[in-house]
Structure 1
Amino acid sequence: MTIPALRLNSGHDIPQLGYGVFKVPADDTARAVGEALALGYRHIDTAAVYGNEEGVGAAIAASGIPRDELFVTTKLWNDRHEGDEPQKAIRESLAKLGLEYVDLYLVHWPTPANDNYVEAWQALIAMRDAGLARSIGVSNFLVRHLERIVAETGVTPAVDQIELHPAHQQRDVVAWARENGVLIEAWGPLGQGKYDLFSEPAVAGAAAAHGKSVAQVVLRWHIQKGNVVFPKSVRAERLRENMDVFDLQLTDAEMAAIDALDPGDGSGRVGAHPDDVN
């Protein structure tokens, strides 16, 4: 099965469906990523703070898949935004991953109370220019953070990776991204099991109509929205199921019904607010 790719504003392509290893135990990461690669996943999303970059690297090395067929993302943690810390951090990540470059490097959180995310972004620009990262972006940035880094550096992120699922769609961030050529990556695309998404009639009804699981319907909703998505699982059967969404086409009415699940007041957020992570 071929996973479609989207074009980043950097000129590189990113597989629209990937495998995220948030909260995958370090001692199980190599197995889980290896199974994902064997099933056909080519986009792996990790982060320094996840503590499992070495497992990702081991799986990549064992897979024998050519480097140019893989898309690997990792992220700069919050306490390394200043001075030469960003450069040290990416080199540590590359060593753990066993790679000469990553395809995408992200500022993990804006940490606004520290007021150093512009400095971090400037460091990522230098990393891109040095060939350590082919594309650079941000994660958990709100519109005001995005506007500031672009205004102060003239460089627009390739992606913004944000919490996004039917109950929390961050429409203001998505609209800004679309207007500025930034791709949205959805973390927690199924709501992390923190609310009863799967019993919602809009989702359950579409699943029944198409003979798919409710998870597949939500993932397909993301795909049709143009989001990059990487659901997390450590079970091969679920990894296989998550890939099986490209023969499904939700109707306009089904898409609109899922769109309507967001109350629009921010109450659907299940993760931390970007202002509170510093």
Structure 2
Amino acid sequence: MGTRGGSVNGWRRFWDRGRWWKALLAAVAYLVLYEAASLLVGVLWGAGVSADLFADARSVLIGLLLPLVIGAVVLLAFVASVRWFRPLFGPQPIRGRWWMWIAVVLTVVPIALRLAGIDYGRFPPGVVALTFLSGLFIGFTEELLTRGIAVKILRDAGFREVVVAVISSALFALLHSVNVLTGQPPLTVLLTVVFAFGFGMMMYLVLRVTGNLVWPMLIHALTDPTTFLASGGIDVATGGTQNPLLALAGPFNILFVVAGLLAIIFIRGRVRENRVA
């Protein structure tokens, strides 16, 4: 019993000692486990997945939702093992300035435009509901990993908040780089990674200005499914004639990148010094 307890305490002590490479380790480990879960689901039920993921509800369930559910369970198990529920889901130890509300506006406006502009009738029954349910798991898992676990590790390491913002957003972008393994053109993957970094910076600012991880989770949970349904795919560009509302939502991806890069100049503070930017 003493040995087992010592192993558990050693596990917690390892993760409580913040290092930048531990944030990277957590992201890579999750990425590997998520991809393994996707492969397993594909082997077991892949025959039921259409080439067009949003062609039917079964494809969305198997090809998108199930691996996310597995990923959520893995992350929750990790958080429970290190007893981080309170520091991750409680009030943030450092709050942001008024200008950070810009990130809330920049992310919520395109969501509203897509919600109003999507042609829901083009999708078979069940697809829309399962896509939004998948969005909840996307927002939960990706924000818990990058704006929760990674941010805590980086803050525990004593990094300034600007470094925390950049590294956590880079890790978020890293999660999207594996799309190249699915056969997507390298240029498309590169653009996705760049946009993901910008969106990651927006989510960091939302975390700071709202003071709670739940808010970036919810905004993220609405961003991805509305984007999927607006474009008809994952990380694909919308072609042809568009609803004007969807056309207005498109340029916000570029605004995320621009605003994220500008934010690097103004982010201040360090949790250990308890200074607020």
With the length of structure 2 as denominator, give the TM-score of the two structures. 0.25
Higher relative contact order (CA 8 A, sep 6+): 2
Larger relative strand fraction? 1
Larger relative helix fraction? 2
Higher radius of gyration, 1 or 2: 2
With the length of structure 1 as denominator, give the TM-score of the two structures. 0.25
